[in-house]
Amino acid sequence: MSVESFIERAQDGSRSGDSALCALFLKSAAGKLEEYRSRIEVCLGKLDDAQIWARGSENENAIGNLILHLCGNVRQWIVCSLGGQPVDRNRDGEFDARGGFTAAELAGRLRETIDAAAAVIERLTAEQLTSTYEIQIYKASGVEAVFHVVEHFGYHAGQIVFATKMLTHSDLGFYSHLRGNWQ
C-alpha cells in the first residue's frame, strides 16, 4: 500500500478499528517516551556533575549534551510542530554546552519536556497524524514525526544508559526482574 493510499484510508476514518489503532499508537508512543525518560533519570541519579559533562574527546557528546539535545528535539518536533507552539531552539547550543546544568536541573527539564510532549501526543487526531509538517528541513506526516521522536529518543537514551554503565561500573537493574525467568 502506498503512503498516499494509507493516508487516505486513515483520513477516511470509516474503517472499524482505525481509531483504536490510532489511540494505541499514540498511547504507546507517549508510554515509550516516559519509559526512556525514567531510565535517563535513573542514570542521572547515579552520576555526579563531572560525569554528566565528561567527554572522551571534543567530537564526543557528554550525557548532559544528549539530554539537552533530546529536550530540543522533542520540543521542536512534537510540542512546537505538532502542538502548534513557536519553535525556539538552539540546536548548536545543545552540543556546545560544557556544563551549567546539574543532574536535578537536567532531570526537571527532561520531565517538563516529556510531560508537554505526551500531552500533545495523546490528543492528536487522525487528521493531524496524516497531515504533513515541515520540521527543520524535512517534510513529515504526524505519524512520521511521532515515530521519529520516539526512535531518536530511544537511540540517545541507550547511549546514556551505556555511558552510565561505563562511568559507574554498575548494572542499572532495568531488566533484573527477568533474571531466572527465561522460558
Task: Tell me the domain boundaries of the chain.
Answer: 48-171
Tell me yes or no: is domain 48-171 CATH 1.20.120.450: yes
Q: Tell me: the pLDDT tens digits for 67-123?
A: 999 999 999 999 999 999 999 999 999 999 999 999 999 999 999 999 999 999 999
- Taking phi first (over 0 means left), then psi (-120 to 50 degrees means alpha), and beta for anything else, what does residue 154 get? alpha
181 falls in which pLDDT band (50, 70, 90)?
confident
Q: Supply φ then ψ for residue 132, to 5 degrees.
A: -105, 135
Candidate from 9-13, 41-45, 62-66, 126-130 with smallest mean pLDDT:
9-13
Q: Is the pLDDT of residue 148 over 90?
A: yes
What CA–CA distance (Å, rounded) separates 30 from 118? 5
What CA–CA distance (Å, rounded) separates 160 from 85? 28
3 falls in which pLDDT band (50, 70, 90)?
very low
Q: Helix, strand, coil proportions of the chain in percent (round to 5)?
A: 70, 5, 30
Average of per-residue pLDDT values in the chain: 91
What CA–CA distance (Å, rounded) separates 66 from 60? 10
